[in-house]
Amino acid sequence: MPLRLDTGDAGFAAAFTALVDARREADEDVSRDVTAILRRVRAEGDAALADYTQRFDGHDLDRSGWAVTAAETRAALHSTPTDLRDALELAAARITAYHEKQKPQDSDGVDGAGVRLGARWTPVDAAGLYVPGGRAAYPSSLLMNVIPAKVAGVRRIAMVTPTPKGEINPLVLAAAQIVGIEEIWRVGGAQAVAALAYGTDHIRPVDVVTGPGNAWVAEAKRQLYGVVGIDMVAGPSEIVVVADGRNDPEWIAADLLSQSEHDPTSQSILFTDDAAFADAVAQAVDRQIPALSTHAVARTSWDANGAIILVPDLAEAMPLVDRLAPEHLELAVDDPDALFAQVRHAGSVFLGRMTPEAVGDYVAGPNHVLPTGRRARFSSGLSVLDFMKRTSFLGLDTGAIRAIGPAAVALAQAEGLPAHAASVALRLR
């Protein structure tokens, strides 16, 4: 049974705070293991990669091949059913179109003091993409990670993925072929992230590493943050649905379950102002679960982390939603904009009754790599900006340095930095 709360209950404030503070993230203490793996890959390079791959994935890289060949990716796309190929291509086109609009503008101008000031954006040289093996190898994730890098203008994209016993998900390869990835290494785990960051004889180093992974992969990225850029540390998926009583309870139940089925640690929360609707959704969830191939995960997640919260008015839900700062927020009402105007913290918002979160996972266009675990308070979904950096620039002439130089000299002297002061003062003579 999921949690049931009512803002009118005496214990509501404490119970809701407990819900907000509940950490669903595994506290697996893998940091020491990961430190050792990173150190060894840095020191031994490919030899360490080969050894870890034999140990963890059960294959010999020198026999199976270090890289997936171009023929393999071409063949994977060729053997993909037409409807799936079309769906991947539609998704790629729409994700590309959305991300094109994120490309930042350069600036360059001269201000009133005669100082030329500007900013120029450039792509990173190389991006590394981690793709998990097995069940969690999602072609949609590949598109969501690669396309922003491509739109940013990144010249080289290197993908790493574990291939347990040499096997690899053909739909992932098909997606790689569609977006034109030409470098795919059969390595996974913390060792693969280390190889991307430090480089080995086979794998040249990259500048940014993104992509989902297990606790070891996440910890490797965290430890290598600063050696390379990384996307945000990702936690369990979550959805908040704000719905009035005029929705079909079956639709809303399916929306809640679309998060619950991801992982036992996923979280689905419904806010509604209609007690009868809340009951109807709860019943629909229970009806739908047994039919899912993912029923065991969905059941565990919904019972352990699900919640239905009754509010007197949906507007009163919005400050509570802000405290949760959810990854996904559905506003299933006739006028979603009125509620959306009140939202300060959310990764992605789905407006209206006909916008299930799952369209955003695949084909709508916005990125599905989004901040989890209340991180929407300070971070954003993956974007073109994660694969670019900004160089500021300035230029002074004699007039400009006379206008602003003396203030720089005064401040440098006050901060006890005489060479700073001299570098300006010499030019003022």
327 belongs to the catalytic site: yes
- Tokens 């996923």 identify what position? 266
Supply the DSSP symbol for 66: S
With beta carbons less than 8 A apart as the criterion, state whether 56 and 132 touch. no
**Residue type at 11?**
G
- Tokens 């007690």 identify what position? 275
Least distance in angstroms from the C-beta of 254 to its own copies? 4
With beta carbons less than 8 A apart as the criterion, state whether 281 and 246 touch. no
Angle (CA) 289-291-297 rounded to 5° is: 45
Decide: helix, strand or coil at residue 275.
helix
Least distance in angstroms from the C-beta of 209 to its own copies? 10
DSSP 221-248: HHHHBTTBEE-PPP---EEEEEE-TTS-
Q: Which is nearer to its own copies, 50 or 388 (CB)?
A: 388
What is the C-alpha to C-alpha distance for residues 19 and 24, in angstroms, rounded to an integer?
A: 10
Cα 74 to the center of its chain, rounded Å:
28
With beta carbons less than 8 A apart as the criterion, state whether 65 and 186 touch. yes
Q: Which residues participate in the annotated binding site for NAD(+)?
A: 130, 191, 214
Least distance in angstroms from the C-beta of 276 to its own copies? 20
Least distance in angstroms from the C-beta of 329 to its own copies? 8
Q: Which is nearer to its own copies, 202 or 345 (CB)?
A: 345
Q: How many CA atoms are closer than 13 Å to the CA of 129, on its beta-carbon side?
A: 30
With beta carbons less than 8 A apart as the criterion, state whether 423 and 148 touch. no
Q: Which residues participate in the annotated binding site for substrate?
A: 237, 259, 262, 328, 361, 415, 420
Least distance in angstroms from the C-beta of 356 to its own copies? 4
Rg (CA), the chain: 25
Q: Which residues participate in the annotated binding site?
A: 130, 191, 214, 237, 259, 262, 328, 361, 415, 420
Q: How many CA atoms are closer than 13 Å to the CA of 394, on its beta-carbon side?
A: 8
46: its two tokens: 């490919």
| Torsion over CA: 33, 34, 39, 42 (sign) | positive
For strands 307-310 and 3-6, give the pairing.
parallel
Element housing 19 (H / E)? helix 12-21
Q: Which is nearer to its own copies, 52 or 350 (CB)?
A: 350
Angle (CA) 174-179-180 rounded to 5° is: 90
Least distance in angstroms from the C-beta of 127 to its own copies? 9
Least distance in angstroms from the C-beta of 392 to its own copies? 4
User: Around Cβ 411, how many Cβ atoms within 10 Å?
Assistant: 13
Q: Looking at 59, 219, 261, 328, which residue is catalytic?
A: 328
Element housing 179 (H / E)? helix 170-179
Q: Looking at 219, 238, 261, 327, which residue is catalytic?
A: 327
Q: Which is nearer to its own copies, 52 or 271 (CB)?
A: 271
Q: Which is nearer to its own copies, 285 or 310 (CB)?
A: 285
Q: Which is nearer to its own copies, 53 or 266 (CB)?
A: 266
Q: State in Å, rounded, how far the first CA of the chain is from the last one.
A: 79
Q: Which is nearer to its own copies, 53 or 268 (CB)?
A: 268
List the catalytic residues.
Answer: 327-328
